[in-house]
């Protein structure tokens, strides 16, 4: 698990354009699982373009704080998770 928001952001910047699966807390004991491509990173959020055959909308955004607090878990398709991406 990354220790700071800056480390998370830097780790994700190196993964832009790669396929990932994300698991997000949907509230009330719901877990949302989606897959797509990490499209862009911004100072406070990152954008994931979702696979259209699985989802009703094109893009979602999450904050780096969501990753830090484990509200959102990211796993890149090459079996690396965000913790290993940040350590590079």
| All structural domains of the chain | 5-87 (2.30.30.100)
Q: Which residue has the tokens 């954008």?
A: 47
**pLDDT 10s digits, 44-85:** 999 999 988 876 778 999 999 999 999 999 999 875 555 445
pLDDT value for 65? 94
Q: How far apart are CA 81 and CA 38, in angstroms?
A: 13
Q: What's the rounded Cα separation, in Å, for the pair 61 and 66?
A: 10
Neighbours of 74 (CB within 10 A): 24
| Paired strand residues for 56 | none
Is this structure's pTM higher than 0.85?
no
pLDDT of residue 79: 53
Residue 26 has pLDDT above 90, yes or no: no
pLDDT at 53: 80
Contact 38, 46 (CB under 8 A): yes
Checking if the pLDDT of 24 tops 80, the result is yes
């Amino acid at each position: 698990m990354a220790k700071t928001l800056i480390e998370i952001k830097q780790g994700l910047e190196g993964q832009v354009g790669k396929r990932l699966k994300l698991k997000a807390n949907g509230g009330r004991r719901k877990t949302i699982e989606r897959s797509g491509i990490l499209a862009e990173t911004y100072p406070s959020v990152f954008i994931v373009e979702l696979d259209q055959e699985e989802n009703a909308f094109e893009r979602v955004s999450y904050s780096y704080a969501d990753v830090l607090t484990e509200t959102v878990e990211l796993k890149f398709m090459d079996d690396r998770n965000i913790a290993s991406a940040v350590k590079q």
